[in-house]
Amino acid sequence: FDSLFDAAKELAGTESDAKVPVELLRYLCDSYQQIVERHTGKPFPQKPADQLRGAIEAVFRSWNGPRAIAYREREHIAHDLGTAVNVQAMVFGNRDDNSGTGVGFTRDPATGAKGAYGDFLVNAQGEDVVAGIRNTEPISELKKKFPKVHAELSKIFSRLETHYADMCDTEFTIEQGKLWMLQTRVGKRTGAAALKMAVDMVRPSDLGITRAEAVSRITEDHLDSVLHPQFAGSGYSVWAKGLGASPGAAVGRAVFTAEEAVEMSKGGPVILVRKETTPDDIHGMDVAKGILTAVGGKSSHAAVVARGMGRPCIVGAGSISIDERGQKFTVKSRVVKQGDWISIDGTTGAVYAGQVPTIEPDPHSGHFGKFMQWADEFRGTFGVRANADIPRDAKAARLFGAEGIGLCRTEHMFFAADRIPHMQAMILAREEKDRRKALQKLLPMQRKDFAGLFEAMDGFPVVIRTLDPPLHEFLPKREELMVDIARFPHLGGGGKKELAEKYNMKAGDLKKGLPELLKRVEELHEFNPMLGHRGCRLGITYPEITEMQARAIFEAAVQVAKKGKKVIPEVMIPLVGSEGELENQKAIVTRVAKEVLDKEKMNDLHYLVGTMIEIPRAALLADQIAQQAEFFSFGTNDLTQTTMGLSRDDYTKFSGEYQNLKIFKADPFQSIDQEGVGKLIETAIKLGRGVRNDLDIGICGEHGGDPSSVEYCYRVGMNYVSCSPYRVPIARLAAAQAAIAGADKSESMRTA
Give the binding site for a copy of itself (CB under 8 A). 478-479, 482-483, 485-487, 489-490, 526-533, 537, 540-541, 575, 577-578, 580-581, 584, 614-617, 620-621, 638, 641-647, 649-650, 653-654, 657-658, 661-664, 673, 675-677, 679-680
CA dihedral 716, 720, 722, 726 (to 10 degrees): 110
Cβ distance to a copy of itself smaller for residue 80 or 523 = 523
**547 vs 541: CA distance, rounded Å:** 12
**465 vs 572: CA distance, rounded Å:** 4
Task: Supply the minimum distance, in Å, between the C-beta of residue 666 and a copy of itself.
Answer: 12
Cβ distance to a copy of itself smaller for residue 479 or 509 = 479
Task: Supply the minimum distance, in Å, between the C-beta of residue 232 and a copy of itself.
Answer: 37
Element (H, E) at 343: strand 341-345
Q: Give the 3-state secondary structure of 371-440.
A: HHHHHHHHHCCCEEEEECCCHHHHHHHHHCCCCCEEEEECHHHHCCCCCHHHHHHHHHCCCHHHHHHHHH
H helix count then E strand count, the chain: 33, 26
The reply to whether 700 belongs to the active site is: yes
The reply to whether 29 belongs to the active site is: no
Q: Give the 3-state secondary structure of 499-540.
A: HHHHCCCCHHHHHHHHHHHHHHHHHHCCCCHHHCCCCHHHHH
Cβ distance to a copy of itself smaller for residue 143 or 478 = 478
Element (H, E) at 215: helix 211-217
**655 vs 185: CA distance, rounded Å:** 36
Q: Which of 104, 115, 117, 114 is nearest to 200 (CA)?
A: 114
Cβ distance to a copy of itself smaller for residue 556 or 615 = 615
Catalytic entry in 168, 222, 228, 301: 301
Beta bridge partners of 359: 230
**656 vs 670: CA distance, rounded Å:** 15
Task: Supply the minimum distance, in Å, between the C-beta of residue 657 and a copy of itself.
Answer: 5
Q: Which of 17, 296, 314, 318 is nearest to 135 (CA)?
A: 296
**488 vs 510: CA distance, rounded Å:** 9
Catalytic entry in 700, 703, 713, 723: 700
Residues 6+ apart with CB under 8 A from 444: none
Task: Supply the minimum distance, in Å, between the C-beta of residue 534 and a copy of itself.
Answer: 9
Task: Supply the minimum distance, in Å, between the C-beta of residue 668 and a copy of itself.
Answer: 9
Cβ distance to a copy of itself smaller for residue 384 or 510 = 510
Task: Supply the minimum distance, in Å, between the C-beta of residue 645 and a copy of itself.
Answer: 3
Cβ distance to a copy of itself smaller for residue 67 or 617 = 617
Task: Supply the minimum distance, in Å, between the C-beta of residue 621 and a copy of itself.
Answer: 6
The count of residues in the chain is: 752
Task: Supply the minimum distance, in Å, between the C-beta of residue 173 and a copy of itself.
Answer: 48
Cβ distance to a copy of itself smaller for residue 50 or 479 = 479
Determine the distance from the C-alpha atom of residue 621 to the mean position of all C-alpha atoms in its chain, rounded to a whole number.
34
Written as one letter, the residue type at 198 is A
- Find out whether 636 and 703 touch, Cβ atoms under 8 Å: yes
Task: Compute how many other C-beta atoms are within 10 angstroms of the C-beta atom of residue 742.
Answer: 9
Cβ distance to a copy of itself smaller for residue 22 or 486 = 486
Q: Looking at the annotation, which residues are catalytic? A: 301, 700
